[in-house]
Amino acid sequence: MYCLKAQCFQPSELACGPMKTRVVEHDDAHALLAIYNPEVVETKVTFDLVARTLDEQYAWIEAHRITHPCLVCVNDEDDFGEVGARGERILGFASLSPFRERPAYYTTVENSVYVHRGARGRGVGERLLRDLIQVALESGFHSLIARIVGENEGSIRLHEKCGFTLVGTEIEVGRKHGEWLDVVEYQYVARQRR
């Protein structure tokens, strides 16, 4: 259950077609590591520089099971993906994190979406992001922020397709693999509350 200022939301498994999303579970840690760590080590799509350990992944999952949830996308179509907590195949995950520490920012969250490399092009990212937006809004959040490395065209297209708008560019704010990296910031605002 997720609570924000006494408003609680009990997520159900959201199913549509051959995929469904559900809230991350402790024993999904190995699957998430298998999806995330190659992005840390081999790409510039995350600004983490060191692969997560299993203990760090367990702690991350626990931090994303209360007010800032993580959803996993489960493959119901074939045997592709990483084995998750229930023996299902995990194709990707999406999470919410606090945007800033000061209290006035509490209704704004930052989102992240990671899709298994072999599952790209199957609609996994869109499924995860649309369900994550739904969970965020039902949990009482008003604004979602996506901070995307400027060269990640796939993530930029995904966020635009799901209703995010470009609000700015941060120039050379990160350095990874010997390169300076820009970050583009996209925002989704709950329209019914404007």
Q: Tell me the whole-structure pTM to 2 decimals.
A: 0.88
φ and ψ at 137, to 5 degrees? -65, -40
Taking a C-beta distance cutoff of 8 angstroms, is the pair 137, 169 a contact? Answer: no
Report whether 27 contacts 85 (CB < 8 A).
Answer: yes
Rg of the chain, C-alpha, whole Å: 16
For the chain, 194 residues long, give each residue's pLDDT as a single digit of tens: 333 332 333 344 454 557 899 999 999 999 999 999 999 999 999 999 999 999 999 999 999 988 899 999 999 888 889 999 999 999 999 999 999 999 999 999 999 999 999 999 889 999 999 999 999 999 999 999 999 998 999 999 999 999 999 999 999 999 999 999 999 999 999 985 44
Contact, 109 vs 94, CB < 8 A? no
CA-based nearest residue to 136, from 101, 106, 115: 106
Kindly state the tokens that stand for 137.
């809004």
Residue 95, helix vs strand vs coil: strand
DSSP label of 193? G
What pLDDT sits at residue 192? 56
Q: Which of 187, 163, 169, 36 is nearest to 109 (CA)?
A: 187
Angle ∠(121,126,127) on CA atoms, nearest 5 = 105
How far apart CA 19 and CA 16 sit, in angstroms, is 6
- Terminal C-alpha separation, the chain: 26
**What tokens were used for 181?**
């990296």
Residue 5's pLDDT is what?
A: 33
Q: What are the structure tokens assigned to 135, written together?
A: 């969970």
Domains of the chain: 2-193 (3.40.630.30)
Residue 126: closest CA among 148, 159, 152, 153: 159
Residue 71, both tokens: 């959803």
